[in-house]
Structure 1
Amino acid sequence: MGIRYNKITEKHQREIVLLKSFPCKYGKCSFCNYIEDNSLNEKEIDSVNFEVLKEITGEYGVLEVINSGSVFELTSGTLAEIKKIVKEKNIKTLYFEIYYGYIKRLDEIRKYFEGTEIRFRMGMETFDDDFRINVYNKNFRTDEETLKLMSKELYSVCLLVCTQGQTKEMIEKDIEKGLKYFKNITINIFIDNGTKVKRDGDLVKWFVNKYSYLMNDDRVELLIDNKDLGVFEQ
């Protein structure tokens, strides 16, 4: 059994929930074993999620919702329940995840939760198009225009670092670009998870040595272990 509710008490204080959802619309990322948490059974999804959502206290006024996909794969029942809790618990800021294919639909969510600040995060993984497409199997390209659109629509992107095939230069560039375009970035150090993407131990040592100071940078959330947010499905 995993853990689906937690409080982040240090940097960027908030409550965080890991919810069940319909299958990720894309679902082809080569590093992701997360989609095993998806379901097609709406009743089952809602019954799990409603239990988790009961835990929310609203004490920080900030809630982050993650699910194995995008906010658009949550059921209408779950979204309605989140909306109700946001009102009841006086939540001012709400984080959701999206996949790139939804970038033009974000206003639907903003309208639905009118009166609450919505912050979208997206898995960019890397700004290196070839590596993203050919190694991570995440099939979109970014040019200057796209990055401008994304920096307007998204609060934050997630970067995946220290995988085999990556270079130090790629990682340095990714962090530089992430901080240039976005208010906030999350950096995940990859942990082997049974997928074909593998961790590069030497890069991890180099990275931790060079970048652990980012722990104190307000614009960065650095996850040394992907369980650092305290929610995960076993």
Structure 2
Amino acid sequence: MKPIAVWLKDEIYHDFSIGKCLVIILKTIGCSYNRCIFCSYKEDASKDIKEEEIIGQFDHALKKYNLEELDSFSVKIFTSGSFLDDREVSKRVRRYIYERLSQYKNLKEFSIESRAEYITEDKLDEMRKYLSCHIDIGLGIETFNEELRELLNKGLKCEDIVKAIRIAKKYDVGIKAYLLIKPPFLTERDAIKDAISSAKKAFELGCSRISFCPITIHKNTVLEYLWKKGQYRPPFLWSVLEIIRSVKEHYPKKIIVCDTTAFGLKRGAHNIIGCGCNKIIKENIEKFNLYQTLDLLDVECECKKVYESYIIAENKNIVPFIQECDLLEP
């Protein structure tokens, strides 16, 4: 059985060096929580999948490239939920993956994702029995605004986050904080403030790096309903640039990356649809993800005036939100 996707890409390592990363998206039964109002990854999952099929997907991914010939490489595994959830990826399958990876002397980093409740001492202890490389666990914190996180139906409290970070530190495992840019129920300006303050809190608590996730509208979600009703607009790319710049300036020695999925599209972060700055900003942020150079965030475009007007209009509580095309000068 083949994985959903597998590819080799350039990646920044924890020591700021750049190397290759094998990205594997495994098909599993999906997230057992499956209640966040902005996520539909469960729809990509399989209702019934056997252990051997997951193992087969992993083996297929390893065989696709000659990893032994690389000076070093990292492996990043995504599922539709939590790698450390026994219901999604069994202990036997995880052990098999660890054993296979431990055979690569040039493996520099290993990265997975998990909800906080599955980050336990016994699971990290088992992982460390096989892997001595740098390890990161991506944790969907989304925001450090507790009330807002409850509205997102995340099922995660700050004490859960603190506990997960503490356990990870004990086993020399980093926590990569996934933070949303512009969750629903916030204005554009408040979303900027929330992302910046959440990033600062994440680093204060000991997260190893930040991965910003500008909202993408998934089908069949509460968020999509709000979007179709005109009650939500994905973030402007100008906001994304401001957030990344602010956090990087404050934490120059920390790695900060940003997902660029659906940039420039209606369902993703965008400025005026069709404006050339969408592509430029996407390309520059992808370069920034590798090189962490602030100059890459220096982008200007005439459409920024529309963005500034939109923020003013939005703060007047216009519902449904005004369309940015209505703010264009005739």
TM-score, normalised with respect to structure 1 = 0.79
Note the alpha carbon deviations across 1:92-115, whole angstroms, 9 max, x for none.
321111111113244244245243
Q: Tell me the secondary structure at the aligned position of residue 121 of structure 1.
A: strand
The answer to whether the 8 Å contact 1:20/1:68 transfers is yes
Give the secondary structure class of the aligned counterpart of 1:71: coil
Question: Residue type of the partner of 2:49?
Answer: N
Code of the residue aligned with 1:62 in structure 2: it is S
| Percent sequence identity over aligned pairs | 19
* Equivalent residue in structure 2 for 1:196, among 210, 217, 222: 222
Using the TM superposition, name which of 204-213 and 62-71 deviates more: 204-213
CA contact (8 A) 2:98 2:131 kept: no
Q: Which moved more, 1:83-92 or 1:125-134?
A: 83-92
Partner of residue 195, structure 2? 171
Q: Which letter maps to 2:9?
A: I
Map of 2:61 onto structure 1: 52
1:60-209 equivalent positions in 2, closer than 5 A: 60-72=72-84, 73-75=88-90, 76-77=92-93, 79-88=95-104, 90-105=106-121, 106-134=123-151, 136-143=152-159, 146-152=160-166, 153=168, 154-166=174-186, 167-168=190-191, 169-181=193-205, 182-194=207-219, 195-198=221-224, 200-201=232-233, 203-209=235-241
Contact between 1:215 and 1:221, CA under 8 Å: does it hold in 2?
no
1:157: how far off? Answer: 1.2
Deviation at 1:147, TM superposition (A): 4.9
- On the 8 A contact 1:187/1:222 being kept in 2, the answer is yes
1:34 partner amino acid: Y
- CA deviations on 1:140-160 (whole Å, 9 max, x unpaired) are 2114xx554333324211011
Contact 1:158 1:185 in 2 (8 A): yes
- What is the deviation of 1:64? 1.2
Once residues 215 and 81 of structure 2 are traced to their aligned partners in structure 1, the CA distance between those partners, rounded to angstroms, is 18
**Distance across 1 between alignment mates of 2:38 and 2:129:** 32
The 3-state SS of whatever aligns with 2:99 is helix
Give the whole-Å Cα distance in 2 for the aligned partners of 1:48 and 1:180.
38
Partner residue, 1:210? 242
| Residues 98 and 127 in structure 2, CA contact (< 8 A), matched pair in contact too | no
**Structure 2 CA distance, aligned partners of 1:94 and 1:86?**
10
Distance 2:259 2:12 in 1: 12
Residue deviations 1:203-233 (CA, integer Å, cap 9, x gap): 424413413536896511111326999xxxx
Amino acid at match of 2:25: L
Alignment partner of 1:139: what SS? coil
CA spacing shift, 1:140–1:185, aligned 2, 3 Å: same
Secondary structure of the corresponding residue to residue 26 of structure 1: coil
TM-score by length of 2: 0.59
Contact (CA 8 Å) 1:62, 1:93: kept in 2 or not?
A: yes
Which one has the largest radius of gyration? 2
CA drift at 1:2: 8.6
Further displaced range: 120-129 or 4-13: 4-13
How far apart in 2 are the matches of 1:202 and 1:63? 30
Tell me the distance in 2 between the aligned counterparts of 1:203 and 1:193.
Answer: 15
Deviation of 1:69 after TM superposition, in Å, equals 1.3
The answer to whether the Cα contact below 8 Å between 2:136 and 2:175 also exists between their aligned partners in 1 is yes
Compute the displacement of 1:139 (Å).
0.9
